[in-house]
A and B are shown apart, each in its own frame.
Chain A
Amino acid sequence: MVGEQGGTRRMLTGNAAAAWGARLARVEYIPAFPITPQTEIIESLAAWCAGGELAARFVTLDSEHSMITAAGAAAATGCRVFTATSSQGLLYGLEALWTVAGWRVPLVMVNVSRGLAAPITLEPDHNDILAARDSGCIQLHAETCQEVLDSVLLAYRVAEDPRVRLPVIVNMDGFYLSFTREPVEVPTPQQAADFLPEAQGEPEFRASRPLAQGVAVLQGALYSHFRYQMHLAQEAALAVHEEAAADFEQICGRRYGAVEAYRLEDAELVLVMAGSFATKARAAIDVLRSEGKRVGLLRLRMIRPWPAAAVAAALGHRRGVAVIDQNLSPGLGGILFQEVAATLARSARRPGVLRSFVGGLGGKDISLGEFRHVVDVLAAASDSEDLHGSELLFTEADWQQVQSLVQLAQFPETQAVPSDDGRSEVRR
């Protein structure tokens, strides 16, 4: 891969696609810190920086907290910055993420989703990226490796637009995209340059002109003003993304919306999902369609800003809508369900039934049978019944597996184990 130019269709992992996105964006500064399953992104970029394919300064930092701070500081000088992290790393850098978003600096970060500890896992779900939901960063969630690459390019257009000036996080699922190769069309350097010109604007920070960034505002009114400005900038990003997506289509031939519809035209029942597991939903929808069920998919690509109008337009008139969240807010349920429900509650037309499911936690498969279950629940539901909580997509086979492992880990034969009231007891 080293030494090659873009402009061909090739087999790329999501991680390699992210690195290509940064390379084609001609990024100038890459602060980095390794974490599985993201590390290959920075390994690729480091190799290109060393080999001369990419004229960027690559710096390893001591933590994600420093990394994000360095990314924000560099972006404030007007140079194009790329960085990447995942899971625990994202959370470790979370404080800095809020800070650099508040600085209103454009940078692009890829997050490779991985379930959060504890217990520890390496496989994906979206609790990591949704922990950054309210940071002020824009969020684009990719379904394919192609979309990872294209979204990095789109992200710079949105981040650097004077109406926006906010960090953008491009999210992909660990393993399911990060380590999975599939055919990816790599734009040519010329296409990338046509779509994404050099970073515009006079740098605010210069050594010869000291100024303060991220200042203290010890007045509620001033604080309110600046925070609400972030909100308005986020809202402006919806239109900016549309403009960028139209340009991208013209140059590269692929179109991306804030949401994506699959077989939605005449669908009575709609599944709502984000990320690479939407691919599994497509396959299930094809099977269910072949059985005569009018089912479709709405994929949430842009999570922040929240594309309320597009969501309401796509879902308002359906007989049933099920949000399958690949995340869990303990004590509440699926997170995106809350946002979809709130949008529909304010909308003039509401679907007959609305249900919440949680699936794919820690990378657990969502099988055809589980999608079938969701659709069966929707089909049988009536609007008069109470809204249930979030149902976990978890099969009897999953339960058998869990039971045997928990048994092995906790209750080995004739072993003394402390019971909850502190006394030891012998179990068989």
Chain B
Amino acid sequence: MEFFLQQAINGITIGAFYALIALGYTMVYGILKLINFAHGDLFMVGSYLGYTLVIALIISGLIPNLLVALLIIFLMAMGMVALTGALLERVAYRPLRKAGRLAPVVSALGASIFLQNVVMLIYGPRYHVYPKGILPDIHWSIGGAYVTLVQLATLVISILLMGGLYFFIQRTRLGTAIRAVALDHDTARLMGIDVNRIITLVFLLGPALGAAGGIMIGLYYGRINFTMGWGYGLKAFVAAILGGIGNIPGAMVGGFLLGIFETLAAGYLPWGGAWKDAIAFLILILILILRPTGLLGERVVEKI
């Protein structure tokens, strides 16, 4: 039981990160039918900006209050990555919007390599480590399972961000406009919606969430590298498909499920550590065969 509980906690933690990143994929797909392969790298950029800001604001002692400093770091990094995302859309995707589906995907791959190289050239190719000891080391033992305050905070922040996004999409005028554009660009335009501005808005929201994930990964695990966006991006992409791509609650469910699948595979099967990715992808294939639209793809008629 202790073992199961610990693995469940591990899985949920990993899943929360997948879910946060998966939202960016799914929103862009919902609105443009484009798989934004650079999204994982935007998340990575967020992690590096967080690293720089932690050193500039906390380690230097510029802002003595930890909570205030963290709030500023999150807002600044999320803002900067959001602008990068919007800029990317303007430069790399918008000119190709009428060029069919292949060209923007190639452009996205190019953007991904571009971002990785920019970060590598600025920060260098080695691993970077978030400074130790900035967050209080508080942890509990729940039924023998180990939980840290940072882990819990990460989970709460992720759920709040996802909940906020869901509320925004479902209950606000802008959210309604996003849903309208996802259904049909031309009809939305006839209804007086500025489609380009809505797409820009989506490219602000997704990367901002990704950046928050990036900072939390840095704070929680410590180690960051310019290539980390690819691995996380791929897993998050799978999570988005698992839940039903284009569907926001689907991305969240898919993220958590993938994290838990992986962890249970690694925990219970012999050779599970080595085979866990293979098992996770096998489950994905099975789900796609049985439910091609993903887990939540049919239950919600509206895309996004």
The answer on A and B forming one complex is no
- Residues on B facing A (Cβ under 8 Å): none
